[in-house]
Chains A and B, each alone.
Chain A
């Protein structure tokens, strides 16, 4: 009996091997097997469970072939298109007109094949007096920091700024109390010398700004300049009636507050058409409240696309606020790297965060920011210069250790 049973066991083992082979080759039929069906059943059952099942399972599974269908969605609202700067043909002397906004979808979601009609714009800040600026900025611009026109020229000619923001900080009564007529003269000179669109900022003093803006708008007529900015503390009627008939764009400023943004927009609509208004919800540099501005913009843009007509404006961001973050300008332990790189990086990343929240017009202090963001912009659209086809293979790559 022992002998026979041993033989049988061998036969079974042989059979098992054959089955395994057959299954793994995808052949299910068994040939030349001289074993009775009963025996096969009895002997194989327990083995089938423990050994064969997983192999069978594995063989059955093939890689599914499905396609990822892009989300299809549309929004009822549209962001207005705002044009800044006027060319000769339009009665100005700018070398180009910048169009902002026009979106009908959330920014960079690329839903339903959507791409923004108007790309973001990157501009350079200049000031009408020496203010305390971070070292990284002083190093780049050097002596021209005393001369806003030359500063602007370098911004445009050398560093590719697409527009210039002149901040008339010296007009503040508690700083130099510069006369509006004097500031207007500076803006006039800037308009003569520099040919990109110009944004004119006040000092933040609600009474004085109105006086300054009036004078500036008188001399800049036809150039479609932007006034930066109107807020609820100003006598809006005063400034708005003055510029209502002039082709001047305004930035409505409402720091991180959508209700107040709607309120100021409603008021300004009385005199100024929607397509001459940009909205600024404010932004703090990384570490300094960035998330508030980021979320305010995301909320406002989404609400606008869902049909909130009082928020359908392109966004301005003062990304140069990034320099308010200490990490952007203080000397830190060498572990954290030199401030000359931290500063521009801080401003660049602050811009990127705003970009993803939907910002359209960016005010910056450092040329590296403008250079980086302009390079990125090339690739944010499917129509960009180069399109990557495959993800990089970093897994087995030899990488230098710094």
Chain B
């Protein structure tokens, strides 16, 4: 039976129905609707924790719990959630918990290298539409197969990083050595239980209360068999599945098929042995003997992009190239946005710097990315300007022009609403180069002169220097 979104009435009937407003909503019905849309957490309803409601709380919890379990990995300072997925297709709701990205270190690396990689993972940041895109975990591998050496490496990681940890080895002695360094404030992921070591790994995971990854080493039957044994016979709760990644592109068919079908079955058929987070290992490409390093990073990036798109909840990477991670963190952000809500800023007329009646007037879209880039570029160029941000429903300039959402009417509407005609002496609108197509229409319906600006806002400074002189302004106004 496929997963169905919770019914708000069902939730409402289980709430206290006192309309106390402690959750911040006007009444219990409004809260129920938001809970059913996953817009607020059920725990916002504090009366639900009173003893008499405890049964109801459990019932609602079951209604809103995801068909793919959420597993939380943590350190004393940070935590990351993986899984917790409700849908196969993003448009059916939205994807929860963006694919966590881990960077590896291993116990043959010297301390300096390890610390360098830890710093890299910790400090990696890309500013995108006002958000900071970051990396999430450290995977610690053992190439030495020596417990003492592994302990030393784990110790270095613990001392120098706050990111959650994956302990990677098929040898239970190595994992045990790694765990011995961690306090109970840690909840690491043990990678991995296989058909050969599942007993020992299960015991370690249970004793430490760690999450346990399962690897079928490429065999999907083995994978689900181990999952069944661990979860049903041994009572392991926090499990994550590695369907297996190829060492090069030749395994794409198997990889995509395994990830897709495991997730498909968990959500659409309620299949319990795949109802856990999925782990992808783009790092696998490094076991391919040939190819130069750039090629390896190239394929690692491609496999990572496929995995992010196709249901991986956690990926382990070796590459620390900025060009490799940059598109991945951006795409991950996009894929995990709520498709029902565009990434948009409020439309309106913004002042950048201290504009006056002679300052230029730019027009742009309300797509958050476009807005942040354009306003940034104007700011950087030191120009005082007005920026008219029209409601393109969160679409970028070129797309919204094509979709007829970047139109003169919307600009005129904002000018009127803000009595903007009184704020500037000239009547010139500078529109994006990519919107040049609307200039004729815009002049006609607004009565303003239209100046087509540069194709990219990085050229605004040069453009203004050349075009925004008293002579030019007069020339345009008289044309």
A interface residues (Cβ-Cβ under 8 A, vs B) = 58, 61-68, 70-71, 73, 108-111, 132, 174, 204-205, 231, 233, 253, 255-257, 282, 284, 286-292, 294-295, 298-299, 302, 321, 324, 326-327, 330, 335-338, 341-342, 345-346, 348-349, 352-353, 356, 372, 375-376, 378-382, 384-402
Across-interface contacts of A174 in B (CB, < 8 A):
436
Expressed in whole angstroms, the minimum distance between the Cβ of A258 and any Cβ of chain B is 10
Question: Smallest CB–CB gap between B72 and chain A, Å?
Answer: 23
The reply to whether the CB of B234 lies closer than 8 angstroms to some CB of chain A is: yes
A71 close to B269 (CB less than 8 A): yes
Q: Assess whether B26 is interfacial by the CB under 8 Å rule.
A: no
Q: Which of B192, B369, B458 contacts A288 (CB 8 A)?
A: B369
Question: Which residues of B come within 8 Å of A, CB atoms?
Answer: 89-91, 104, 106, 108-109, 113, 117, 128, 141-143, 145, 168-170, 191-192, 195, 198-199, 203, 215, 217-218, 220-221, 223-226, 228-229, 232-234, 242, 244-254, 256-257, 260-262, 264-265, 268-269, 273-274, 281, 283-288, 293-294, 297-298, 301-302, 305-306, 309-310, 316, 318-324, 326-327, 330-331, 334-335, 337, 339, 367, 369, 373, 395-396, 398-399, 402-404, 436-437, 455-456, 458
Q: Given the known A-B contacts A71-B261, A292-B399, A295-B91, are A349 and B455 also in contact in the complex, defined by CB atoms under 8 Å?
A: no
- Is the CB–CB distance between A298 and B264 below 8 Å? no
Task: Choose one: A63, A338, A353; the contact of B309 (CB below 8 Å).
Answer: A353
Measured between alpha carbons, how far is A397 from B35 in the docked complex, in Å? 46
Q: Which residues of B contact A337 (CB under 8 A)?
A: 321-324, 326
Task: Tell me whether chain B's interface is mostly helix, strand or loop, or mixed.
Answer: helix
Name the B residues within 8 Å of A338 (CB-CB): 323
| CB–CB A391/B335 < 8 A | no
User: Could you give 17 example pairs across A and B, Cβ below 8 Å?
Assistant: A58-B203, A61-B229, A68-B220, A205-B437, A282-B402, A288-B369, A326-B456, A346-B327, A352-B305, A356-B309, A379-B251, A388-B218, A391-B246, A394-B247, A395-B169, A395-B191, A399-B283
Contact A291 B249, beta carbon cutoff 8 Å: no
Q: Knowing A288-B369, A352-B309, say if A327 contacts B403 (CB, 8 Å).
A: no
Tell whether, in the assembled complex, residue A291 and residue B250 are in contact, meaning their CB atoms are under 8 Å apart: no
Q: Which residues of B contact A399 (CB under 8 A)?
A: 104, 106, 283, 286, 318
User: Which B-chain residue is minimally distant from A61 (CB atoms)?
Assistant: B233
Partner of A402, one of B256, B265, B320, B404: B320
CB pair B323–A66 under 8 Å, yes or no, is no
CB distance from B302 to the nearest CB of A (A): 6
- The smallest C-beta distance from A201 to any residue of chain B, in angstroms, reads 13
User: Whole-angstrom distance between the alpha carbons of A108 and B253 in the complex?
Assistant: 8
Question: Contacts A397-B286, A399-B286 known; A287 to B334 CB distance under 8 Å?
Answer: yes
Could you say which residues of chain B place their CB within 8 Å of the CB of A63? 195, 198, 225-226, 229
A290 in contact with B334 given A282-B399, A395-B191 (CB within 8 Å):
yes
User: What's the Cα separation between A62 and B244 when bound, in Å?
Assistant: 23
Minimum CB–CB distance for B323 against chain A, Å: 3
Q: Nearest-CB distance from B256 to chain A (Å)?
A: 5
Q: A342–B323 contact, CB under 8 A?
A: yes
Residues of B with C-beta under 8 A to A346: 327
B455 touches A132 (CB 8 A): yes
Name the B residues within 8 Å of A73 (CB-CB): 268
Shortest beta-carbon contacts, A-B, top 10? A337-B323, A391-B244, A388-B251, A391-B218, A392-B247, A392-B284, A336-B322, A291-B334, A386-B250, A392-B287
Chain A residue with the shortest CB-CB distance to B274: A68
